[in-house]
Amino acid sequence: MPFAEHPYPETHPDAGRFTAFARVRTPQAGRTLARWVGGLGLGLFLAGFLPWTQNIRSTGTLTTLRPQDRPQTVPSTIAGRIKSWRVQEGQLVQKGDTLAEIVEIKDKYFDPELLARTREQLEAKISGLRENAAKTRALGGQQDALRAALQASLSKARNKVRQADLKVLSDRADLVAARADFAIAERQQERQETLYKQGLKSLTELEQRRLKFQESTAKLQAVQNKLAASRQDSLNARIELQSLDAEYADKLAKSESDRRSATGYQFDTEGQIAKMRNELANLSIRAGYYFITAPQTGYVVRALKEGQGEIVKEGEDLVTMMPANPQLAAELYVKPMDIPLLRVGRRVRLQFDGWPALVFTGWPGSSFGTFGGIVQVIDNIGSQGQYRILVTHEPGTEPWPAPLRVGSGVYGWALLDNVPVWYELWRQINGFPPNYVGDAGTYAGGAGGKGGKKEAKTAKADGYGTEE
């Protein structure tokens, strides 16, 4: 075989006779490198078709989902002086346990019998109110009696007026009779005078007739006087009838004034009683504030006031507490450009500070030391250019470590769509955002066109989720 056509010239039978063969043959290291480069290139090409889980990275701290589970300060409701402490820092206390005791510093509340004395004042006011109510009822009865007396007096006065009118009528009739008698006596006297002048009657008979005439005249005058007196009595009876209304109106007005004064005093007393009851209730409640109690079961973290005898102001914090058994949540902050890619219920992988972990963000199923979570809350308002999300434990996955404490650091990866590695590299080079996944879990654009079912199956195969 000619030398040029031999597949391996260095192994040709005549190669030993020529020194040029040793200078032109391919080195063994070059062939090895070529094999490695080719194998590596083929591996990278094949790796470009491996699935890659897109994610949104964020950092934050551990907090709690419920506001009542977060660290809180216990204030003093009233101003006072610390008398004694009943706990120490780090101690577990139950709800209602006494943390500290304070005493009064205001001279208004120095009296140790203040509650009893205030209660006595209240009882005295209530007794006075009862007596005033009895007075009001008595005045009401007095008014009823005055109205009844008025009606009786009016009836009596009307009867008196009628009697006076009847007497006037009677006297008027007597006057008519007296005038008739006077006229008869006057005519008889004239006839007697005539007969006497004619000598037919004696002087004695004339004088007797004159005497009767004088009696008739006197009787007429008496009847006239009597009629005038009867008319005056009738007028007085009418005046008395009219004065009764004014007299009893004055008495009723005075009684009504007394009754209204008593009623006004009653209302004022009722207001004072309500005020004293309010004050008594406030004093009773205030007495309960002398003991600072734990609002819920938890740990005493720090005493913000030290020693005994220190003055605390109204509403000033005394103790910081951490509730026991809080419902933990990871508080993560996400860039505004990534917020549209998230929704409540999105799966998240978490890495906690102080917990060993080996993380492959694109292959969550291959990571070690990470824990599952789901997005529970997404803030509607950004803070300092970022949006806060709260992530809680994902049901059905490994529980979060028990030693976790509120405030420790946490790293999170919100899991999105599954795409090939080459597409992810192409997206990163071009600065494109991750693929948007709709609320139904379906892929809404970009390369790959993967559906929600495929994403769910891939997630299950990667080992970071369960089928729902």
pLDDT (tens digit per residue) in 253-265: 888 888 888 888 8
pLDDT, residue 450, reads: 40
Cα gap 155→161, rounded to integer Å: 10
Indicate the number of domains in the chain.
4
Statement to judge: residues 214 and 146 lie in one domain: yes
Cα–Cα distance between 5 and 126 in angstroms, integer? 131
Cα pseudo-dihedral 266, 271, 276, 282, rounded to 10: 160
pLDDT value of residue 447: 36
331 found inside a domain: yes
Which residue is listed with tokens 């080195």?
Answer: 27
Overall average pLDDT of the 331-351 stretch: 87
Q: Is the pLDDT of residue 242 over 50?
A: yes
Residues 274 and 297 in one domain: no
Phi, psi of 374 (to 5 degrees): -130, 150
The single residue listed with the structure tokens 């993967």 is 450
Examine the pLDDT at 135 and tell me if it is beyond 80. Answer: yes
Assess whether 276 and 370 both reside in one domain: no
Are the CB atoms for 247 and 167 separated by under 8 Å?
A: no
Task: Note the pLDDT of residue 85.
Answer: 92
**What are the pLDDT digits (tens) for 4-37?**
555 555 555 555 565 665 555 556 676 788 778 8
pLDDT band at 143 (very low <50, low <70, confident <90, very high): confident
Range of the domain at 270: 114-288
Report the predicted TM-score, pTM, of the whole model to 2 decimal places: 0.57
Residues 135 and 250 in one domain: yes
Percent of the chain with pLDDT over 90: 17
Query: Same domain for 337 and 351?
Result: yes
What is the structure's pLDDT at 391? 94
Q: Give the pLDDT band (50/70/90) at residue 152.
A: confident
What is the rounded average pLDDT of the residues 227-244? 83
Helix (H) or strand (E) holding 377: strand 371-378
**Which of 267, 288, 309 delimits the end of a domain?**
288
Element (H, E) at 40: helix 28-47
CA distance 87 to 94: 11
How far is it, in rounded angstroms, from Cα 449 to Cα 453?
12
First to last CA, the chain: 71
Residue 386 counted as domain residue: yes
Residue 465, pLDDT above cutoff 60: no
CATH code, domain carrying 183: 1.10.287
Q: Which residue has the higher pLDDT, 439 or 105?
A: 105
**Residues 217 and 162 grouped into a single domain:** yes
Q: Is 193's pLDDT higher than 90?
A: no
Q: Are residues 334 and 367 in the same domain?
A: yes
* Same domain assignment for residues 250 and 359: no
**Same domain (yes/no): 331, 376:** yes
> pLDDT tens digit string along 257-301?
888 888 888 888 888 889 988 988 888 888 888 999 999 999 999
Q: For the domain that residue 456 is a member of, what is the CATH number?
A: 2.40.30.170
For residue 296, the domain's CATH number is 2.40.50.100
* Cβ atoms of 349 and 373 closer than 8 Å: yes
